Amino acid sequence: MAHFMYVLRCADDTLYTGYTVDVQARVATHNAGTGAKYTAARLPVILEAWAEFATKHDAMSAEAHFKQLARAEKMDMIVAATTPEDLANAIRTRFNL
């Protein structure tokens, strides 16, 4: 089973980062207003980026590390990554995961 860290852009232009095993279903849940309190107040959300990891631990560790970055650093990583694999590799490299 694949595990994902994902980044959403909310309607107020803030970023939300989370963990899931099904990215598209999770985005739909957020847009239905039942994904998280944070996103429910900032609808609609769009999927900005995602990265796949082999284990839940790796994906959740990547999420926790990514959340600690400044917004500019997050955006730099997202823009530089042309594929989900690029983002996952950038996160692994940056945080020695």
Buried b (16+ CB within 10 A) or exposed e, 29-42: ebbeeebbeebeeb
Token pair 């990583």 in the structure block, residue: 77
pLDDT digits (tens, 9 = 90+) for 35-56: 999 999 999 999 999 999 999 9
d(CA 9, CA 93): 24
Backbone phi, psi, residue 74, to 5°: -60, -50
Is residue 4 within 8 Å of 43, Cβ to Cβ? no
pLDDT by residue (tens digit) across 24-38? 999 999 999 999 999
Percent of the chain with pLDDT over 90: 97
pLDDT on residue 46: 97
The tokens describing 94, both together, are 């940056």
- Residue 69's pLDDT band, with cuts at 50, 70 and 90, is very high
- Give, for 29, the enclosing helix (H) or strand (E): helix 23-31
Tokens 């490299």 -> residue:
93
* pLDDT for the residue 97: 86
